[in-house]
């Protein structure tokens, strides 16, 4: 990968993780932009975490757990695969994984956009709190478990127990769904949902994908309320 004239190189073959993250966080709390190239990530955990500035970070290779965690404002691109919890607790900005990612992608994320060009494993979007996730491949079982807010788009298939115990997240799946979790149902795809889906697909550079190929899933809202008939269960 060529390095732009103004890019700052962070090479994990020459420095430890703490020093690398400190270099990436140098502009935190400012409105300044910067461009970083990370070389030799070698599956390192917790890389490019806690960024709080409108910087761009390109990681040349695969990363370990929690890459891009707690991201705020930064644009992070992983030219490889990502381990568990990529973009965990993200607040804003973008994390783009060019390969596959492990389980719990986007867990608890409050804002921003996570794009996965490949597949995401189990529990994708678990406890999602407002972020957007677009997965161009498949997602694993128990995805969107207890997801509270946000939007999840899956161009491939979804595993078992999709959306178990979810709240108000919008889920769009183009492929097949192995099974739905508790209180998750297929819902009508109205015009406003087609518009929302179109915007998300465009953001993920999926402009040629037809929104009519998707089904929408969401909460049946039966877990929200106390049912007197279930009194004996308490």
Q: What pLDDT is recorded for position 56? A: 98
Pairing of strands 215-219, 170-173: antiparallel
The whole-angstrom separation of Cα 214 and Cα 137 is: 14
Task: Give every CB contact of residue 206 below 8 A, 6+ residues apart in sequence.
Answer: 134, 136, 155
Q: Mean pLDDT, to the nearest integer, of 124-153?
A: 98
Q: What pLDDT is recorded for position 60? A: 98
In angstroms, the Cα distances linking 183 to 64, 80, 100 are 33, 35, 29
Q: What pLDDT is recorded for position 126? A: 98
Tokens representing 59 are: 């990681």
Q: What pLDDT is recorded for position 5? A: 58
Q: What pLDDT is recorded for position 189? A: 97
Q: What pLDDT is recorded for position 1? A: 34
In angstroms, the Cα distances linking 62 to 14, 56, 203 are 17, 17, 23
pLDDT bracket for residue 231 (50, 70, 90): low
Range of lowest pLDDT (6-10, 17-21, 189-193, 227-231):
227-231
Q: Mean pLDDT, to the nearest integer, of 106-125?
A: 98
Tens-place pLDDT, residues 169-180: 999 999 999 999
Decide which of 233 and 9 is more confident: 9
Set out the domains of the chain in order of their start, with CATH numbers: 8-233 (2.160.20.60)
Which H, E and C letters describe 39-97, residue by residue?
A: ECCCCCCCCCCCCECCCEEEEECCCCCCCCCCCECCEEEECCCECCCCCCCCCCCEEEE
When the pLDDT of each residue in the chain is averaged and rounded to a whole number, the result is 95
Q: What is the DSSP annotation of 132-179?
A: EEEESS-B-TTTTTT--EEEEEESS-B-SSBTTT--S-EEEESS-BS-
Are the C-beta atoms of 219 and 194 separated by less than 8 Å? no
The whole-angstrom separation of Cα 85 and Cα 36 is: 22
Q: What pLDDT is recorded for position 107? A: 98
Q: What pLDDT is recorded for position 232? A: 72
Q: Mean pLDDT, to the nearest integer, of 164-189?
A: 97
Percent of the chain scoring above 70 in pLDDT: 95
Q: Mean pLDDT, to the nearest integer, of 27-31?
A: 95
Q: Mean pLDDT, to the nearest integer, of 120-135?
A: 98
């Amino acid at each position: 990968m060529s390095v732009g004239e103004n890019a700052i190189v962070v090479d994990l073959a020459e420095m430890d993780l703490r020093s690398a993250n400190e270099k990436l966080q140098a502009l935190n709390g400012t409105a300044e932009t910067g461009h970083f190239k990370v070389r030799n990530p070698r599956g390192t955990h917790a890389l490019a975490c806690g960024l709080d500035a409108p910087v761009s970070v390109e990681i040349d290779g695969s990363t370990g757990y929690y890459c891009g965690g707690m991201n705020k404002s930064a644009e992070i691109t992983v030219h490889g695969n990502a381990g568990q919890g990529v973009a965990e607790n993200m607040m804003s900005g973008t994390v783009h994984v060019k390969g596959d990612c492990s389980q719990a992608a986007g867990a608890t994320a409050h804002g921003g956009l996570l794009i996965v060009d490949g597949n995401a494993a189990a529990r994708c979007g678990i406890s999602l709190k407002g972020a957007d996730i677009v997965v161009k491949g498949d997602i694993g079982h128990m995805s969107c478990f207890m997801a509270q807010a946000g939007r999840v788009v899956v161009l491939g298939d979804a595993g078992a127990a999709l959306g178990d115990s979810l709240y108000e997240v919008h889920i769009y799946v183009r492929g097949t769904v192995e099974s739905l979790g508790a209180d998750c149902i297929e819902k009508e795809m109205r015009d406003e949902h087609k518009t929302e889906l179109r915007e998300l697909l465009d953001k993920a550079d999926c402009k040629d994908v037809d929104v009519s190929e998707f089904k929408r899933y969401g909460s049946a809202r039966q877990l929200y309320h106390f049912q007197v008939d279930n009194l004996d269960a308490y």
